[in-house]
C-alpha cells in the first residue's frame, strides 16, 4: 500500500492474501468498481445487486458477504475515509481452502475493499470524444458467466494488449459469431434515428451498472431502446456511438477506422441525465 491507497482484507488494513485463496488460484470470485463522489459510492445498490447475482451464479453465499461489506463501508464513512478517495473496488472470493476445482463446503468468503484516487483522462474525452478500434480477439460464449463481473478477465487483458497507440482509447470486442458485444472496459451503445441500441449480453460480456442504469433511464424518458445481436455493420448506419462504465461515465466515440461521428444530441442528453442521477444519489 501507498499513502494514496487503502486496502481492507476482511475488515482489517492489509494487502496480502493466503496463497490458498481461490480467487488467486482459480479466479473464483467477483468484483465491482465504484465511483465515489464526495465520499458517496454512486449507484451502490445496483453494484450490490450485480454482486448478488454473481454470488448466486457462482454459489458463493451472499448473506455472508453483504452484511460485513455494509459494516466496512459504514465504518469508513463514519471515519471520513471514503471522502479522501475517488474509487472503491470491492472483491469477493470464495475464500481459502484446498487444492482442486471442487470447492470445499463451508468456506468463508474473502472480502477486499480497495480505495484509490480517481485517475484523470487527458484530452477531456467525455466532451471531445474518443477514437476506438476493433480487437482481433473474439469473446467466447459462456452463458453461465455472461453478465456477471467475475475475476477472470484474461480475454480483456489479451485484447487490451493488442494496441499501444495512446490516441486509441478503447477496443471494441466481438464474439465468436462476429456479433458486437462491448469494449474491453466499457459497454457499447449507438443511436440510429433517435433509437438507442446496445448488444444483448446473455452469451458473453458484462452487464455494466451504468449500462443498465442508462437503459432504464432512457426508457423512463420515453426513448426507444433495443437490445439484440448486431454485426459490426450496424455501426456503419449509426448516427452516434458511445461507451460507458462506472468510472468514465459516458464517452462519445468519434472515430473507428474510417468511420467518423460527432458527439450527438442523444449522447449529450444521456450525459446530463446521468449527472443529474449522480447528484440525486
What class, spelled out in words, does domain 125-280 have in CATH? alpha beta
Among residues 93, 110, 170, 182, which one is catalytic? 182
Q: Is 267 a catalytic residue?
A: no
Among residues 32, 33, 93, 184, which one is catalytic? 33
CATH architecture of 6-116: 2-Layer Sandwich (3.30)
pLDDT of residue 73: 97
Q: Is 276 a catalytic residue?
A: no
Cell of 116: 484509490
Distance CA 34, CA 89 (A): 6
3-state DSSP call for residue 141?
coil
pLDDT of residue 160: 98
Residue in this structure with the C-alpha cell 433517435, named with its chain if needed: 194
Cell of 180: 458486437
pLDDT of residue 187: 99
pLDDT of residue 234: 98
- Report the candidate in 51, 8, 57, 7 with the shortest Cα–Cα distance to residue 30: 51
CA 156 to chain centre: 12
CA distances from 212 to 116, 127, 189 (A): 25, 22, 11
Q: Is 89 a catalytic residue?
A: no
Among residues 93, 149, 184, 267, which one is catalytic? 149
Domain residue ranges of the chain, discontinuous segments joined by +: 6-116, 125-280
- Burial group, residue 109, by CB count within 10 angstroms (0-12, 13-18, 19+): buried
Contact call for residues 244 and 251 (beta carbons, < 8 A): yes
- Burial group, residue 245, by CB count within 10 angstroms (0-12, 13-18, 19+): buried
Name beta bridge partners: 226.
Answer: 197
| Binned average pLDDT, 10 residues per bin, the chain of 281 residues | 84 94 97 97 98 98 96 96 97 92 94 95 96 98 98 98 98 98 98 98 98 97 97 97 98 97 98 96 74
Contact call for residues 138 and 174 (beta carbons, < 8 A): yes
Amino acid at each position: 500500500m501507498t499513502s494514496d491507497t487503502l486496502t481492507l482484507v476482511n475488515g482489517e488494513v492489509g494487502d496480502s492474501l493466503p496463497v490458498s485463496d481461490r480467487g488467486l488460484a482459480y479466479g473464483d470470485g467477483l468484483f465491482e468498481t465504484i465511483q465515489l463522489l464526495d465520499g458517496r459510492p454512486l449507484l451502490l445498490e445496483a453494484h450490490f445487486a450485480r454482486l448478488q447475482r454473481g454470488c448466486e451464479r457462482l454459489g458463493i453465499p451472499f448473506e455472508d458477504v453483504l452484511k460485513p461489506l455494509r459494516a466496512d463501508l459504514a465504518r469508513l464513512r463514519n471515519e471520513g475515509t471514503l471522502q479522501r478517495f475517488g474509487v472503491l473496488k470491492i472483491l469477493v472470493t470464495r475464500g481459502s481452502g484446498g487444492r482442486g476445482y471442487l470447492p470445499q463446503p463451508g468456506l468463508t468468503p474473502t472480502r477486499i475493499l480497495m480505495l484509490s484516487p480517481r485517475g484523470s483522462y487527458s484530452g477531456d474525452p467525455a466532451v471531445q470524444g474518443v477514437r476506438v478500434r476493433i480487437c482481433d480477439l473474439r469473446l467466447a460464449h459462456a452463458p453461465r458467466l455472461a453478465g456477471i463481473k467475475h475475476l477472470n478477465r484474461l480475454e480483456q487483458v489479451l485484447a487490451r494488449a493488442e494496441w499501444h497507440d495512446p490516441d486509441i482509447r478503447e477496443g471494441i470486442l466481438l464474439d465468436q459469431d462476429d456479433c458486437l458485444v462491448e469494449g474491453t472496459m466499457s459497454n457499447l451503445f449507438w443511436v440510429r434515428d433517435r433509437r438507442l441500441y446496445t448488444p444483448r449480453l446473455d452469451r458473453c460480456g458484462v452487464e455494466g451498472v451504468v449500462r443498465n442504469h442508462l437503459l432504464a433511464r432512457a426508457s423512463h424518458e420515453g426513448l426507444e431502446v433495443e437490445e439484440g445481436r448486431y454485426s459490426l455493420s450496424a455501426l456503419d448506419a449509426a448516427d452516434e456511438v458511445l461507451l460507458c462504465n462506472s468510472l468514465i461515465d459516458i464517452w462519445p466515440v468519434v472515430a473507428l477506422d474510417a468511420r467518423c461521428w460527432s458527439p450527438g444530441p442523444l449522447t449529450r442528453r444521456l450525459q446530463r441525465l446521468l449527472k443529474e442521477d449522480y447528484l440525486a444519489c
